[in-house]
Amino acid sequence: MRFSRLFFSLLLATCACGYAADVTGNWLVKQESPDGNIRETYFDLKQDGTNITGAMRSVTFDRKIQSGTIDADGKIVLMMAGQNNRPGQRIQAKFVNGELRVTMPARGGGEEMTAKRAPAGAGGPPAKIEPPALHKVKYNGLAKTPPMGWNSWNKFAGRVTQEDVKGMADAIVSSGMKAAGYIYINIDDTWEGIRDANGNITTNKKFPNMKGLADYVHSKGLKLGIYSSPGPKTCAGYEGSYGHEEQDAKQYAAWGIDYLKYDWCSAGRIYKDEDMHAVYQKMGDALLKTGRPIVYSLCQYGRAEVEKWGPEVGGNLWRTTGDIRDSWDSMTKIGFDQDRLAPYAAPGHWNDPDMLEIGNGGMTDEEYRVHMSLWSLLSAPLLAGNDLRTASKEILQILTNREVVAIDQDPAGHQATRASKNGDLEVWVKKLADGGQAVGLFNRGGSAADMSVKWADLGITGKKKIRDLWKHADIPWTAEAYSANVPSHGVALIRLGK
């Protein structure tokens, strides 16, 4: 019996060590999505006994294996390090008869994929293309007021289809949003297909006819937007514009595209932040060269002081923050952190605190009124991100409040600044083209609060007209101040004028 146990222990040790020559190496997993996109993920593994180290990588990311084990039966468990404040992933695999089968994370459950051996070092980004010398790109004359429209990502993410986009175009007209100023219908990531033999970008199965879709959107009196990245892959792992900037811009123009969101993503695996200016300039030049008016939206999360050079690369707007989420904490953290950027907003060039979450269900209607009020005071782009086909009457009233929209679209293009802050109570003021002012009294606290703003603090002398923009009512003039009881997570928004 003792001999049998000793033999079995030695056999297990031999099995575990025996994997070393086979599991160590670079392994490629190819995943095909329903739309036909191929995602390549590499597992660069090194085995030492029962321990596994290494990394999981693709063109868009490189994640270290925090801990990894393999047992005598060839079962592998890898704990990946987290990234961008997100927890790491647990990935399981099996090593059977010299074959590695990896269970890849996926919505609704993992999918077991067979990994193939790949050359050492494969899976990283392509060689760096040196960015061009800096010069100023001519202003395209667009977005003289902040762009308004709809974007697919917040609601649909990678599930958006051509039919969804057509449905939104129909809904934006029938709901009254077009009449209120919402014009752009913007497709975010996951429309991209492969490149053809000549390097031209194509669409995937979800978007079988981009030119036809553009024609449909244009027939509604609307404009169509699209998405890409200066890197080789987009954030979702689809084809980016790296090395194909002029070719892609020409294709967008041929399709009839009116707006480009250009998302940094995998470019960060090739370039440093100090390269951003020149890299974004490259696409700015390419868009201008097409001769088609295309709004240029920079999406690099507010890094590298983009507000200082965004206009110089032809940018009409630039993101100032990471991605917004449909929550009070996310929206307020982003929105109330924009004060320092006010000097950089101007007609044709806008700070972009990200898209609207109004109507997606994570906040109350009162909180969504705060969202709409603050973005309008900030002269931010107003890009709805909900399903307009099923939006409630209350949500549509928030999005189409023309008196509030008029604050956002004021032709002077000033961005509001914080006039005062007392704990959870903040007052923001925006100068308007007619000499008036828009004033927002925000209560970020957990209970209703009495708030007031003194006219002297706003530099106001003499009697003015006061208009409550959410109640759509004129307010009697008082000599010294305006006062209101503002609900928890609420706003009082007024316009002062002649």
Segment holding 335, helix H or strand E: helix 328-335
| H or E segment to which residue 70 belongs | strand 62-70
Look up residue 112 and give its two tokens.
Answer: 């077991």
Give the DSSP per-residue string, 75-112.
EEEEEEPPBTTB---EEEEEEETTEEEEEE--TTS-EE
* CA atoms within a 13 Å half-sphere pointing along the CA-CB vector of 138: 8
Q: Please report the sign of the dihedral spanned by the C-alpha atoms of residue 20, residue 21, residue 25, residue 27.
A: negative
Give the residue numbers annotated as catalytic, written as ranges. 263, 323
Q: Which residue matches tokens 């051996």?
A: 117
Q: Which of 38, 16, 45, 40 is nearest to 28 (CA)?
A: 40
Q: DSSP strand E in 349-476: where?
A: 350-352, 382-384, 417-422, 425-431, 437-443, 449-454, 465-468, 473-475
Q: Which helix (H) or strand (E) holds 224?
A: strand 223-228
Rg (alpha carbons) of the chain, rounded to whole number = 27
> Is the CA virtual torsion 323, 326, 327, 328 positive or negative?
positive
- The dihedral built from the CA positions of residue 138, 141, 146 and 149, taken in this order, carries a sign that is negative
Distances (CA, A) of 443 to 356, 361, 422, 427, 449: 20, 21, 10, 9, 7
Token pair recorded at residue 251: 């294709």
Paired with 76 in beta bridges are 70, 93
d(CA 28, CA 42): 5
Longest dimension (CA), the chain: 103
Burial 399-426 (b: 16+ CB within 10 A, else e): bbbebbbbbbbbeebbbbbbbeeeeebb
| DSSP per-residue codes, 400-419 | T-HHHHHHHT-TT-PPPEEE
Cβ-count burial 74-94 (b if 16+ within 10 Å, e if not): bebebebeeeeeeebeebebe
DSSP, res 459: T
Give the three-state DSSP class for 18.
Answer: helix
